[in-house]
Amino acid sequence: MIKAEGLLKNYPGFSLNCTIKVEPGMVTGLIGRNGSGKSTLFKTILGVTAPEGGKIELLGKSPEKLTTEERKQVAAAFSDSFFCSALTIAQVGKIVEKLYGKGAGEYVTMCRSQGLDPAKKVKDLSTGMGARLRVLTALFSQPKLLILDEPTVGLDAVARDEILTMLRSFMNGGDDRAILISSHISTDIESLCDDIYMISRGSIIFHEDTDELLGRYGIIKVTDEEYDTLDKSAIIKIRKESYGFSCLTDQRQFYIENYPWVTVEKGSIDSLILLLEGGNDV
């Protein structure tokens, strides 16, 4: 669905150089700190920002070879923007009709079914309703590929769950669909995504299946003395702490079985970001 190889984009003080792949039937997560390059990567993949090098394929084709109908099968939503915030939802429906060739009435009916008042201006929607509208608008074209930048940012647990339910329903529509999604909310990524990429300073530094991350990875917490006794062959990163060291490993069970006296916690996206970004090599 997406294949980006050596994708390059340069700005003063920042360079993007990424390779990433999203397979059909998969939900792929992109994580990283603010300013790591998530939005830049998304916009470059979509052609909003022109790349300076590398190759991109969407739906198995280079973007310039996609037909008009194929382009409609790629939809995106960004958390920081909506293309017509001064209009009412009903007026947005008329614009969407011109874009997708589908009736504005269908759009309004869809929005109303999700609790959105067609007479209300987009800019006057609550944070949760605005997020729901962005996702609904992306889904309206019945795409095969969704690219979502922080779709649940700023939402409470209930509103986030509603968005995630919409995305799961979308994926249940067929194995020829895929999602690329970024989020700072680790539980959303862990519950939704099949695999996870981590970006740092414009480059991909980690890629793993979510089940592998949650099943094999762990954080070892040890004193200075305990750290000296550890087999460090399966330790990826370390970080100095007040009590000693925290260590990222991809062989959690090995340390549970061979070092029963030390604390070994289950891995998570938050711990992964903390150790990969703030940790040191062994």
104-113 vs 89-100: helix crossing angle, rounded to 10: 130
Closest among 116, 68, 122 to 95, alpha carbons compared = 122
d(CA 250, CA 74): 35
For the chain, what is the mean pLDDT? 92
> What confidence tens digit (pLDDT) does each residue in 123-167 have?
898 888 888 899 998 998 889 999 999 998 888 889 899 999 999
Residue carrying the six token digits 């340390």: 255
Residue carrying the six token digits 């939900």: 27
Say whether pLDDT at 19 is over 70.
yes
Mean pLDDT, rounded, for 43-60: 92
Say whether pLDDT at 53 is over 70.
yes
d(CA 268, CA 264): 12
d(CA 206, CA 31): 10
Say whether pLDDT at 251 is over 70.
yes
Instruction: Phi first, then psi: give them for residue 259, nearest 5 degrees.
Output: -135, 65
Closest among 195, 188, 197, 142 to 165, alpha carbons compared = 188
Say whether pLDDT at 270 is over 80.
yes
Q: Which amino acid is at 141?
A: S
